[in-house]
Amino acid sequence: MTELKKAIDQISKDRGIDRDLLVDTLEEAVRSSVIRKYGENLDVEVSYNDEQGEIEVYQFKVVVEDDDVADPAAEICLSDAKAIDPNVALEDEMGFKLAVEDLGRIAAQSAKQVIIQRMRDAEQEIIYEEYKDRKGEIISGIIQRRDRAGWIINLGRTEALLPKEEQIPRERYKRGDRVQAFIIEVLPSGRGPQIIVSRTHGDYMKALFAREVPEVSDGTVKIVAVARDPGSRAKVAVISKDRDVDPVGACVGIRGSRIQNIVQELRGERIDIVVWNPEIASYAANALSPSRVTRISVDEDEKSLEVVVTDDQLNLAIGRKGQNVKLAAKLLGWKIDIVTESRFREANASKKFLEQLASVAEIHVDNIIAAGFVSMEQLAEADDEAIDAIVGMTPSKRDDLRAALKLMGAFDKPAPADDEDAPTDEDAPNEGNAPADGETPVDDAAEGDAATGTEEINADEAK
């Protein structure tokens, strides 16, 4: 076996490149070198003789009259041709074998460069074909270096990029660290396939559960949704297709063994396992755990929920910096408004008063609320122009509304301080909304917010 044949076989085996592709590359490289040395007009044929293990190059010339040779590289005179082959005729083509060794050092170097480049291209194509179908898989590699875009991870035959935005906050790496990540994109590139990986993607957590929990891997337990605050906390909604399999217990494992492996991989990220429910109110109650929900009002049109909790559960329901309710909203894809029971009772009481006033004025209560009035005190303080802006309101209905407000104990708007007829501080009784001497007036609604607290999370913003 010649050295060339040994080299082709070895490269094909080590690099995983198809042998025929290598041979085609070698033939093209030699042909380019011949053309480079002898010119574009040269008619050559290059082939690899597998039995002899060598490259054969043939130059073809057309037979012309003795005095008609215009290009010696492409034509041969009839007399010279007959000296080689007595049976040759005009316009015949004759082939002459060229010695590859005669190409010279520059041509040989050029052929070598072409071969190396073609081999590199072939290898990159093979790697791309290997990884393009692995999107959605977990890969493991070694941190190699950091550049402007993020960390470069050595995967062996190629590299992957872990962008800054796909890294877990506060997670630190150094060269030589082994890291796992989730393939989110494989793009062809002139310098080789670009493999983009992530450690914050929601599907990464799904893949980790599929690896650690057999019931998830075989489809018995399905992960419906994932909401993450990477590196801090996550909520995972699950459902079981088998009545005898507890989806939460399967994901947690005996003494938390299964979920603990995932938590360690994500650097201590807390994970809440939530049971999915087709009924949105029940699903929301589960998603807001560990807080206990008293009642939930559902607005299907707006995809919003009003969740009522006891006063002592408010902080737990909202979570630190709103984390619990944000993750719940993201998990559901709904807007969530959390209020305390005391706040809820106040709002309901105000609405009952508004319903009574609306009944007297013979208009719908929603029209009053739509105009921005949420309490009878606001109506009492409003001027005629603001009340007339209520849909369906007329002057006579406004008079009826004013009369009803007086009967219900609402107070008229206080007179201006510079009014000569206005009572002095000493004469004015301290009742209703009027502040005592030396006190600062406090808006009732604002005071309620400060005392009980509310939190509204938009699902789109949470994402």
Tens digit of each residue's pLDDT (9 = 90 or more) over 185-197 = 998 876 667 899 9
Tokens of residue 136, six digits: 């959605």
- The more confidently predicted of residues 65 and 428 is 65
pLDDT at 439: 37
Given a cut of 60, is residue 460 above it in pLDDT? no
Q: How confident is the model at residue 398 (pLDDT cuts 50, 70, 90)?
A: confident
Centre a 10 Å sphere on the Cβ of residue 385 and count the other Cβ atoms it contains. Answer: 7
Given a cut of 60, is residue 164 above it in pLDDT? yes
- As a whole number, mean pLDDT of residues 271-288 equals 94
- As a whole number, mean pLDDT of residues 122-128 equals 79
Which range has highest mean pLDDT (152-156, 343-347, 357-361)? 152-156
- The more confidently predicted of residues 395 and 416 is 395
* pLDDT single digits (tens) 298-319: 999 889 998 999 888 889 999 9
CA 130-133-135 angle, to 5 degrees, is: 115
How many DSSP H helices and E strands does the chain contain?
18, 16
Helix (H, G, I), strand (E, B) or coil at 367: helix
Tokens of residue 241, six digits: 């297709």
Given a cut of 70, is residue 334 above it in pLDDT? yes
* pLDDT single digits (tens) 219-268: 999 999 999 999 899 999 999 999 999 999 999 999 999 999 999 999 88
pLDDT at 421: 45
Domain positions in the chain are 3-128, 135-200
- 194-198 vs 221-229, strand pairing mode: unpaired
Which range has highest mean pLDDT (107-116, 155-164, 324-333, 442-451)? 324-333
16 dihedral zone (left: phi>0; alpha: psi -120 to 50; beta): left
Domain 3-128 has CATH 3.30.1480.10: yes
- As a whole number, mean pLDDT of residues 412-417 equals 47
Domain at 135-200, CATH from 2.40.30.20, 1.10.540.10, 3.40.605.10, 2.40.50.140: 2.40.50.140
pLDDT at 114: 67
CB 159 within 8 A of CB 194: no
- The more confidently predicted of residues 49 and 306 is 306
Burial of 286 (0-12, 13-18, 19+ CB in 10 A): buried
The torsion angle over the Cα atoms of residues 291, 297, 303 and 309, rounded to 10 degrees, is -20
- The more confidently predicted of residues 227 and 60 is 227
**Chain-wide mean pLDDT for the chain?**
79
Burial of 11 (0-12, 13-18, 19+ CB in 10 A): middle
